[in-house]
Chains A and B, each alone.
Chain A
Amino acid sequence: MAFIRLFWVFLKIGAFSFGGGYAMLPLIEEEVVHIHRWLSSVEFVDIIAISQMSPGPIAINAATFIGFRQLGVIGSIVATTGVVFASFFLVTTLAHFIIKYKNAPFIEGVFSGIRPAVIGLISAACVSLFQTSVVDMKGFAIGLIVLAILYKSKLHPIGIIMLSGVMGIVIYSF
């Protein structure tokens, strides 16, 4: 029963949190801290800290961590499956129709408006990320160096991430 409840709670979180990332936090907090009391408020903040030190979507990280704490490794798999369950069905269903009717005038019209909007959305994400991620001149310098490298070379983003991390350790140690 505990497994079913874990699955159900994370299914709800996955199905009702729009916008990804930090937009999912209030719903996760409500379910796991206030309703089910699986975590204290302090532990919840710890999870956010852990998510900032580890890769992947914050909802997946929270699901894995809470699932593990509640019911071990199987619990972490159950909670993570729950959180991606709705995504999987909604995305494959919608993708099916979008690919099938790609050339229908309606779909073409819709995406002719959405495509430029996405450029605007990504640029907007840059602005808000800049505000939270670039907190001092050292960070600003790292950002500028990375821009220069990206402009001059075709270094893979993973290479950039590793390099900037090392720069962080070097620059912030002094």
Chain B
Amino acid sequence: MKEYFKLFSIFFRVGAFTFGGGYAMIPIIQKEIVESHQLIDEQDFLDIIAVSQSLPGPVAVNTAVFVGYKLKGIFGAIAGLLGTVLPSLLVILLLAVFYNNIKDITAIQLFFQGVRPAIVALILMSALKLSKSISKTSFNISIILFAFIAVALLKVHPIPVVVLCAVAGLIHRKKEGEHGLH
């Protein structure tokens, strides 16, 4: 029971501080799950992000469900899900009730004007930290560059990019096998 509550409280914090889209939860999950509590290693975390990004639905919810399931099975998944969703639900209910009173408070808007650039910096640091978990082979570096260029510059949707890179990984592994390498 204690462990489910721990999962719930970790993802409650994730849900409460995810501003600015799904990727914004990566730095917080990384800190809580990978670094502080070391429940999941960085490679598994990358796998989980990839799957969460490729399935329909909010990325933060998918990630919470996957991490919860991996650590504590179906009830862990439920704990992660509830933790992620509850802060939004509570905050939006409050906002829905008081919306007309708070819509124009400039302090709140200025707060978020400051938070948005910080989120970019946080995600950049996450990408740098996660890149350390990957060996610097020419295959890995070309995949990183390919995915980056395809999505950032050519505006390709992430899902076909993930699928292509999965196929490239399969072919690459097969060739390595034929050469007797591991």
Interface residues of chain A, those whose CB is within 8 Å of chain B, are 14-22, 24, 46, 49-50, 52-61, 64-65, 68-69, 73, 76-77, 80, 83-84, 86-88, 90-92, 94-96, 98-99, 105-106, 108-130, 132-134, 139-140, 142-144, 146-147, 150-151, 156-158, 160-161, 163-169, 171-173
Check B57–A68 contact: CB distance below 8 A: no
Secondary structure call for the A interface: helix
Check A122–B118 contact: CB distance below 8 A: no
Check A53–B57 contact: CB distance below 8 A: no
**Contacts A53-B109, A113-B166, A157-B27 hold; do A17 and B95 have CB atoms under 8 A apart?**
no
Q: Cα distance A126–B117 when bound, in Å?
A: 10
Check A64–B123 contact: CB distance below 8 A: no
A46: which B residues are within 8 A, CB to CB? Answer: 99, 103
B17: which A residues are within 8 A, CB to CB? Answer: 55, 157-158, 161
Q: State whether the Cβ of B148 lies closer than 8 Å to any Cβ in chain A.
A: yes
Interface residues of chain B, those whose CB is within 8 Å of chain A, are 13, 15-23, 26-28, 31, 43, 46-47, 49-62, 65-66, 69-70, 74, 77, 81, 84-85, 87-89, 91-93, 95-96, 99, 103, 107-127, 130-131, 134, 139-141, 143-152, 157-159, 161-162, 165-170, 172-174, 177
Secondary structure call for the B interface: helix
Specify the chain B residue showing the minimal Cβ separation from A136.
Answer: B113
**Contacts A17-B56, A88-B65, A113-B166 hold; do A165 and B114 have CB atoms under 8 A apart?**
yes
Of A76, A90, A120, A132, which is within 8 A of B89 by CB?
A76
- Could you tell me the distance in whole angstroms from the C-beta of B48 to the nearest C-beta in chain A? 8
A sample of 29 inter-chain contacts (CB < 8 A) reads: A17-B57, A53-B109, A55-B16, A56-B87, A57-B84, A59-B58, A87-B57, A87-B61, A88-B77, A91-B66, A91-B69, A96-B69, A98-B51, A110-B169, A111-B166, A113-B143, A114-B47, A115-B43, A119-B127, A121-B162, A122-B23, A122-B130, A129-B123, A146-B117, A157-B28, A157-B122, A161-B19, A169-B111, A171-B114
Of B47, B62, B88, which is within 8 A of A64 by CB?
B88
B130: which A residues are within 8 A, CB to CB? Answer: 118-119, 122
- Could you tell me the distance in whole angstroms from the C-beta of A131 to the nearest C-beta in chain B? 10
Q: Cα distance A108–B121 when bound, in Å?
A: 31
Q: Cα distance A151–B13 when bound, in Å?
A: 23
Check B110–A169 contact: CB distance below 8 A: yes
B18: which A residues are within 8 A, CB to CB? Answer: 55-57
Q: Cα distance A173–B114 when bound, in Å?
A: 11
Q: Cα distance A168–B19 when bound, in Å?
A: 15
A166: which B residues are within 8 A, CB to CB? Answer: 111, 114
- Could you tell me the distance in whole angstroms from the C-beta of A101 to the nearest C-beta in chain B? 12
A64-B93, A109-B172 given; name 10 further pairs at CB < 8 Å. Answer: A56-B91, A57-B88, A60-B88, A64-B88, A65-B95, A91-B65, A116-B147, A117-B161, A126-B124, A160-B122
